[in-house]
Amino acid sequence: MRIVGLAAFLGISVLSLFGPTAPARAEADCKALVAPSPFGPEDQTGATNRVTPAVTKAAAAEIQTGVVTPMAYPLADGVPLFGTRFSKTVLTSFATMPGAEFGKNKLSYMEDTYLSQSHVGTHIDGIGHIGVQDCYYNQTPMGKYITQNNLKRLGIENIKTFATRGVVIDAVKVFQAAGKLKANAACKRPCLDGGTMITEADLQAGLKMYNVTLKEGDAVFINTGWGDLFEQFPAQNAAYNGGEPGITDSAAKWLASQKVVVVGSDSWAVEVIPGEDKDIAFPVHKTLITDNGIHIIENVRTQLIADAAAASKRATFFLSMTVPKAVGLTGTFVNIEAIQ
């Protein structure tokens, strides 16, 4: 009785909480809340529409030495996660015991099962990940397109390809050069401190450092040094999750105006946390994903490619990353490599 009374007092109902067809969701005006897609009203792909054959062919020219630089962290027990999030594997089938082998050739095998949330480790945010109320990319009223298991629109199976040019922007070097680096004592290497805002001017300074001009279809990765805390897992997990340096909303808007396809960083949200406006939650996610269909990749291992760029004076590379056709997912962990 008390719980019923409490619900009534708060003015809520079970329907308003969980029902996808509840009035509050159905009434949201998606045309007012979300920008239309530049790729047409039926588009579910988003920015990877920009990765045309011409873009891929041009990106292939970035492969000059054949050196491959890893850009993903190993997905292992103990990496930073929030709250009750988890990523576990279970070895579910094996036939190594004597007598369990197959055939006279005694073939044995092993298989495993992932018990994992999709947004863990180095992972991509799909365009079905972020919305405003029930309005998602391309003014999609997602309340109509969700089931208990997955999305019926905007799932990651709609992504085309990331066979494009990658660009690394070393924000650490930008801030060092400008004499405004405020480091975090827990970082073993130079890093920007949590809450440090990376503006479009900083991004432009980072591009200028290596004489790079962004092109339509580029994949942009920002090295903040914050990934140093990820690499110290689990010792610095709380510090890693407690905030982060990242881009501002205006920087995200500038990147969107450059028609990039993805923005990644060595942090868990790419954007500055705490944000510029204490009352606004994740504005960069909304700008990039919801309004522009631009993917975000989090927990990217950017330090190695930033070091490679510093050594070779070349901050561009061919991006090697594929996304499984997992139908209806909002994101997935990925492997990324930079090929130069």
Partner 1 sequence: MAGRPGLRRRLFLGGLLACGIRPARAEGRRFRIALANLDETPGVTLEGLGFTGAEVRRSFELAARTLPVDMLYFDNAGDPARAIANAEAAIAAKIDLLIEYNTDREANAEIARRLAAASIPGLALVHPLPGAPLYGPDNRAAGGIAGRALGAFAVETWPGEQVIGVLIGDLADPGPAISERVKGITDGLHESLPSLKLALLDTGGQPVRADALVAKFLQTERGQHVLIATLDDLAAVYAKNAIEMNRRQSDCIIVSQGLDRNIHGSASEKKEIDPNNRGSVVLGSVAYYMDRYGYEVLPLALRLLAGEKLPPRAVTQHILVTAANVFREYPPFDMN
Chain positions contacting partner 1, by CB under 8 A: 1-3, 5-12, 17, 82-83, 119, 195, 197, 238, 241-242, 268-269, 273-274, 276, 278-282, 298-299
Strand segments, DSSP code E, in the chain are: 68-70, 87-94, 110-116, 123-125, 135-136, 140-141, 165-170, 197-198, 219-223, 246-247, 262-265, 295-298, 316-320, 331-333, 337-339
Please state the closest distance from residue 14 (CB atom) to partner 1, in A: 10
Encoding tokens for residue 276?
Answer: 């510029």
To partner 1, the closest distance from the beta carbon of 148 in angstroms equals 17
Nearer to partner 1, 123 or 165 (CB): 123
Residue nearer to partner 1 on the CB measure, 90 or 280: 280
Q: Which two tokens stand for residue 12?
A: 């809520």
Select 74 or 274, whichever has its Cβ closest to partner 1: 274
Closer residue to partner 1 in complex, CB, 316/332:
332
- Distance of closest approach, residue 29 Cβ to partner 1, in angstroms: 19
Closest approach of partner 1 to the CB of residue 23, in Å:
16
Least Å distance, CB 151 to partner 1, is: 17
Q: How far apart are CA 134 and CA 219, in angstroms?
A: 28
- Measure the N-to-C terminal CA separation of the chain; round to a whole number of Å: 66
Alpha carbons within 13 angstroms on the beta-carbon side of residue 76 total 9
Distance CA 27, CA 175 (A): 45
User: What's the closest the beta carbon of residue 9 comes to partner 1, in angstroms?
Assistant: 5
Which CB sits closer to partner 1, 228 or 298?
A: 298
| C-beta separation of 224 from 192 below 8 A | yes
Residue 277 C-beta: closest distance to partner 1, Å: 8
Could you please report the per-residue DSSP string of 101-163?
Answer: SBTTTTB--EEEEEEE-SS-SSEEEPTTS--BTTEEGGGEEGGGGB-SS-BSSS-GGG-----
DSSP for 186-202 reads: T-SS--PPTT-EE-HHH
**What Cα–Cα distance (Å) separates residue 150 from each residue in 137, 141, 329?**
16, 15, 6
Give the residue with the Cβ less far from partner 1, 90 or 281.
281
State which residue, 11 or 98, has the beta carbon closest to partner 1: 11
Identify which of residues 39 and 282 has a Cβ nearer to partner 1 in the complex: 282
Closest approach of partner 1 to the CB of residue 276, in Å = 6
* Under 8 Å between Cβ of 255 and 288: yes
